[in-house]
Amino acid sequence: MIGVSVQGVNKRFGGIQVLKDVSFTANEGEFVTIVGPSGCGKTTLLRIIDGLEKADSGDVRIDGRPVSGPARECAFVFQADSLMPWRTVWDNCKLGLELRNIDVKANRGRIQELLNLVGLRGFEKHYPRQLSGGMRQRVNLARALVVDPDVLLMDEPFAALDAQTREIMQKELLRIWADQRKTVVFITHQLDEAVYLADQVLVMGRKPGVIADEITVPFERPRELSIKRTEEFGKLVERIWGTIEGVIRETGGI
């Protein structure tokens, strides 16, 4: 089954073509990462998949159904810390259900299971200010998963984290993904993150945003962080960097 299908998507803002003929598919349960220089249209593409933005032309489907408005099958995880500071960890998680009018009481078990899964058992009554950045992103993830989406859309979720926490979160995310088996589309600027997480890496060009390269990542799962230091891994990162460098050169700097 195909989880996310994007075919021939074009998008203009004013006179500027941001996305041009963008096509890719993510099979159900597949992990796709998107990299590309700033302003190439990554967030726009994710918003189109989520139905928050409308494509000018092209076809976008989730689980085979055309997207025609905010997609209930998708959950978004943003870079910015989008937790409500006046709500506890538990109440922030519950918000995902409330926003979709899903019965909270009937899902108490699920909230607890997910908080356990993301490693926050015992922190249910804490407020966001009492948590580290990594822990706050774990709450964000639990909140996204609580509605049991088919597709998880993640826009640079770990960008604000320090290098060590980020690595831990990458490994954790793969563990959680293996448990939940969602289709994931994940944007990042960090090339090693893109390769480490993905089944498939999409490299975007800019002005207009096109898919400049598509890479199938061959490493077996589960993956140890140490694969990042292998030659094969380094070669994939180098290939992506080569493409992005070319795009930046052609389109006039960062």
Ligand X SMILES: Nc1ncnc2c1ncn2[C@@H]1O[C@H](COP(=O)(O)OP(=O)(O)OP(=O)(O)O)[C@@H](O)[C@H]1O
By a kind-dependent CB cut-off of 5 to 8 A, residue 44 interacts, out of Mg ion, ligand X, none, with ligand X
- Of 49 and 89, the one with the shorter C-beta distance to Mg ion is 49
> Between residues 38 and 164, which has the closer beta carbon with respect to ligand X?
38
Closer by beta carbon to Mg ion, 43 or else 243? 43
Beta-sheet pairing, 16-27 with 2-13:
antiparallel
**In sequence order, which residues have a C-beta less than 8 Å from that of residue 246 and are 6 or more positions away?**
none
CB-CB contact of 89 with 115 (8 Å): yes
The least distance separating Mg ion from the CB of residue 155, rounded to whole angstroms, comes to 6
- 8 Å CB contact between 21 and 10: yes
Binding-site partner at residue 40 among Mg ion, ligand X, none, CB < 5 to 8 Å by type: ligand X
Min dist. Cβ of residue 42 to ligand X (A): 4
Report, in Å, the least distance between residue 34 CB and ligand X.
8
7 and 218 Cβ atoms separated by less than 8 Å: no
Q: How far is the CB of 203 from ligand X (least distance, A)?
A: 12
Please report, as residue ranges, which positions from 8 to 47 form the binding site for ligand X (by CB under 6 A): 13, 18, 36, 38-44
Return the C-alpha torsion angle 49, 189, 202, 246, nearest 10.
Answer: 130
- β-pair type (2-13, 57-62): antiparallel
In the complex with ligand X, which residue's Cβ is closer, 47 or 182?
47
Give whichever of 107 and 208 is closer to Mg ion, judged by the CB atom: 208
The entry of Mg ion, ligand X, none that residue 133 binds, CB within 5 to 8 Å by partner kind: none
Q: Can you tell me the distance from the alpha carbon of 37 to that of 127, in angstroms, rounded to the nearest whole number?
A: 35
Q: With 0-12 CB in 10 A as exposed, 13-18 as middle and 19+ as buried, what is 122?
A: exposed
For Mg ion, the closer of residues 43 and 137 by Cβ is 43
State yes or no: residue 243 binds ligand X (CB under 6 A).
Answer: no
> Where are the alpha helices (H) located in the chain, listed in sequence order?
42-49, 89-99, 108-117, 133-145, 163-180, 191-197, 231-250
The contact mask relative to ligand X for 199-228 (x = CB under 6 A, - = no) is: ------------------------------
In angstroms, give the least distance from the CB of 17 to ligand X: 10
Closest approach of ligand X to the CB of residue 202, in Å: 12
Write the DSSP string, 156-214.
STTTTS-HHHHHHHHHHHHHHHHHH--EEEEE-S-HHHHHHH-SEEEEE-SSSB-EEEE
CB of 43 to Mg ion, least distance (A): 3
Residues lying near Mg ion in the complex (CB under 5 A) are found at: 43
Residue with CB nearest Mg ion?
43
- For binding to ligand X (CB under 6 A), which residues are involved? 13, 18, 36, 38-44
